[in-house]
Amino acid sequence: MDRMKDQHIPEELLVNEILPWLPVKSLLRFKSVCKAWHSTISNRDFIESHRHHSQSEVHVLHFLEDIPPHGIGSINVERLTQEGQLQHYYRLSQLQNNDLINSCHDLVVIHYKDYGYLLSNPAIQESVYLPHPPSWSDDLLEVVGVGFVSSLGKYKVVHITCDSQTEDTCEVFTVGMDNSWRIGKTPPSSIYKFGHTPYVNGNLHKLTESDKDVNTKILVFSLEKETWIVMTLPDHPRIPQTGIYCWHIELREIKGLLCFICCIQNKSIDIWMLRDYGNKVWSNDFVIYMTLPRAMPDGLSFQISDNYGYFPLNVTSDGRILLQMNVRYDRWFYYDPQDGTVQQTDHKGVYTTLYAENLVPISGF
C-alpha cells in the first residue's frame, strides 16, 4: 500500500501525452485544480499541441434555425455522432440574412449581410465580429477563407470580391492585430465563386473560374506569406475529345489532406487525395460507382445529373464516408467502401460545417 501511495504520473508524461488528448470541456475544469495546471493549460505551446491532436477528432456540426413565433430566436447547433445521430451541441444568437462559411476546422464563421462576419470558437464560448471589407457589396459574389498562422499565433481572414467586370479583389484581416482590412495580392486567375475554400498545410485553396474547363487549376494562397501560386489538378476523367470535365468537381479537406472530387454523370464519384503535399503527389483513394445496389428510402435515387453531385464531408472511425448532396444540403448519405452500400441519413436542415474543438483564443497569442 505504501508503494501505491508513492506512485504518481510524471509531470512530463501528463503534460505531453495525456492532457493534449482530452476534450476542451475537461481542460477548462482542470484549470481550476491548481495554479500550475492553470498555467500549463493556458500556455501557448500546450494550446497548439492540443490543437494539433484535436484535428483527428473532427465534429460535423448541423445548424438549425430556431425562430419563435414572436421575434428573432437562435441557431441550434447539433453534433453528428459516429452512429449517425444528432446531439445538441450549442446555440448561437441569430441575426437575419446569414450564411455559413466553411474553411478551417478551428472556427465556425458566419456571414451576416447587414453586419459583417462572426468568428466563433464554441468550445471556449468566444466570438469576435469583423466588419465588411471596403470592397464588399451585396450585389457581388464573394469568396471567404480562414486559417491559423502558427508563426504569428493569429488567425487570418481572406476576402475575395468577384466582379465579372474587373479583376478579383483580395483583402486580408489578421484577427487581433489589424484594425481594418488590408489590400492583398490579386489572384493570378479568376476564382470560381462557388464551392469550398479548404485550409490545408497553411494555405487556402480554390479552383479557377470555370469548373468545366480543361485548363482549370487550383489557386493556392499562403496565409503566412500572403502570396499566390498555381497548382495543377490530378489527371482525371474528362469527356473524350472536348476535354470538358464530367459534370461536377470540388475541393475539400479530409483528415488534414487536400481532396479533389470529380462526379462523373451515371458513372462514379472519384475522390483524389493529395498524399504528398510538397511533391504534389495525388492518390485516387476512393471510387464510388453509381451502378451498385443502393438502400434508399422514399424512392430517392442515388445518381449524378447535370444539376447535382455528391461531395464528402468526413470519414468516420469505421471507414464510412459521409456525403452531402450539393444542391440539397439537408441530404446526407453514408457510403461504406467495404460493401459498396449507400444509406441516407434522416436529418433536416441546411447548414453543415466541420469543427475540431480547440483552446486557441480567436484574437490569437
Residue 4: predicted pLDDT: 44
Q: Tens digits of per-residue pLDDT, 170-212?
A: 999 999 999 999 999 999 888 888 888 999 999 999 998 754 5
Residue of 225 and 91 predicted with greater confidence? 225
Of 109, 87, 89, 84, nearest to 99 (Cα)? 109
For 40, the enclosing helix (H) or strand (E) is helix 35-42
**Chain-centre distance for alpha carbon 85:** 20
- Tell me, yes or no, whether 193 and 256 share the same domain: yes
- Tell me, yes or no, whether 31 and 145 share the same domain: no
Segments forming the whole domain that contains residue 268: 52-355
DSSP, collapsed to helix, strand or coil, labels residue 80 as strand
Q: Tens digits of per-residue pLDDT, 269-286?
A: 889 999 999 999 999 988
Residue 181: predicted pLDDT: 97
**Residue at 362 is within a domain:** no
Residue 67: predicted pLDDT: 55
Residue 260: predicted pLDDT: 93
- Tell me, yes or no, whether 63 and 159 share the same domain: yes
**Residue at 351 is within a domain:** yes
Place of cell 496565409: 223
**Residue at 288 is within a domain:** yes
Name the DSSP class of 18.
I
Q: Tens digits of per-residue pLDDT, 84-135?
A: 777 888 877 666 677 888 789 999 998 888 889 999 999 999 999 999 999 8
